[in-house]
Structure 1
Amino acid sequence: LQRGEKLDPKNVDHPLTGGWVGFRDCHVKPDLVLIYRIFDGQLQLARIGSHSDLF
């Protein structure tokens, strides 16, 4: 992510909606989700946890 490279499709990287507009999430492991965004060229990590913990 830091280098701007695309993630493998297995990571299910996608944009978020609602209160998380501007952020993306990707699956680090099957039930470990990372919420992040690229802002002003900087990677910002917002939250990490299981899907049920985050949503």
Structure 2
Amino acid sequence: MLKIKYHSSFKRDYKRLKKRGMNMDLLHEAISLLAKNTPLPEHYRDHALTGNLKGYRDLHITPDWLLIYKIKRKELILILSRTGSHSDLF
């Protein structure tokens, strides 16, 4: 099981999405799979990011709801960086 660390921008994003009425159970489910190091189902469309976010990955909670994260395998840490729509994040 990976230890979860929340970036301050993730905490802000989380509050914003909760106010928008998003189904946070969907986000919690994806985070749980990541923390357990369980292979993600294909519908999450998990992939590596490039450019300024090299080293990070993103997955799709829904078609326009992303979770940006990083796993530090040596330290067994899951870092949750951002979450939101494409327009929120990019």
Offset, 1:53: 1.4
Higher strand share: 1
- The aligned residue for residue 11 of structure 1 is 44
Residue 88 of structure 2 aligns to a residue whose secondary structure is helix
- The percent of aligned pairs where both chains have the same amino acid is 49
- The aligned residue for residue 65 of structure 2 is 32
Name which one, 1 or 2, has greater alpha-carbon Rg: 2
Quick one: distance in 2 between partners of 1:7 and 1:43?
14
Q: Which ranges of structure 1 fall in alignment gaps of 5 or more residues?
A: none
Q: Which ranges of structure 2 fall in alignment gaps of 5 or more residues?
A: 1-33
Q: Which runs of 4+ in 1 moved over 6 A?
A: none
**Alignment root-mean-square deviation, CA:** 0.8
Structure possessing the higher relative contact order (Cα contacts under 8 Å, 6 or more residues apart): 2
Offset, 1:51: 1.0
Residue 7 of structure 1 aligns to a residue whose secondary structure is coil
